[in-house]
Amino acid sequence: MEKHKTFEDIKAWQLANKFRKEIYNITRRFPKNEGFVLIPQIRRAVISIASNIAEGFGRYSFQDNIRFCLTARGSVNEVLDQLYIAFSEEYIDKNEFNNLYQKGREIERAINGYMGFLKKQKNSFKS
């Protein structure tokens, strides 16, 4: 795996940024009564994914970077839970749910891969 020069080079961040756009687009269709509950909650969670990857990158510490990735991974799962709510309330259909759910899991795998890379890098500096 090659060295990342900026957080924008990280695949997990790239996927999370695209996912954020999709969540924003889909939540524009949610009913107005969700304007103070589900919409801001899911948007905060989806913003948190890419933001935590970027913030961790900027810490220049493997351990801090990994910790922020753990937070980002938690936010992925928070968004997935909120998608279940949106689906059960019929704000999104089954195809939209499945598509977004799979993209969320892809981001989670990318974060796990990035954390594995960071752990290897951290261990190589110890040797």
Q: Could you give the CA distance from residue 82 to residue 9 in angstroms, rounded to a whole number? A: 28
51: nearest Cα among 79, 31, 27: 79
Dihedral through CA 84, CA 87, CA 92, CA 97, nearest 10?
A: 50
53: nearest Cα among 14, 80, 13: 13
The pLDDT score that the predictor gives to residue 46 is 98
The pLDDT score that the predictor gives to residue 1 is 45
The pLDDT score that the predictor gives to residue 78 is 98
3-state secondary structure 103-121: HHHHHHHHHHHHHHHHHHH
Task: Provide the sign of the torsion angle of the four alpha carbons 31, 52, 99, 88, taken in this order.
Answer: negative
The pLDDT score that the predictor gives to residue 127 is 56
CATH, domain range 7-126: 1.20.1440.60
Write down the domain spans for the chain.
Answer: 7-126
pLDDT tens, the chain, 127 aa long: 457 799 999 999 999 999 999 999 999 999 999 999 999 999 999 999 999 999 999 998 999 999 999 999 999 999 999 999 999 999 999 999 999 999 999 999 999 999 999 999 888 876 5
Q: Could you give the CA distance from residue 104 to residue 72 in angstroms, rounded to a whole number? A: 11
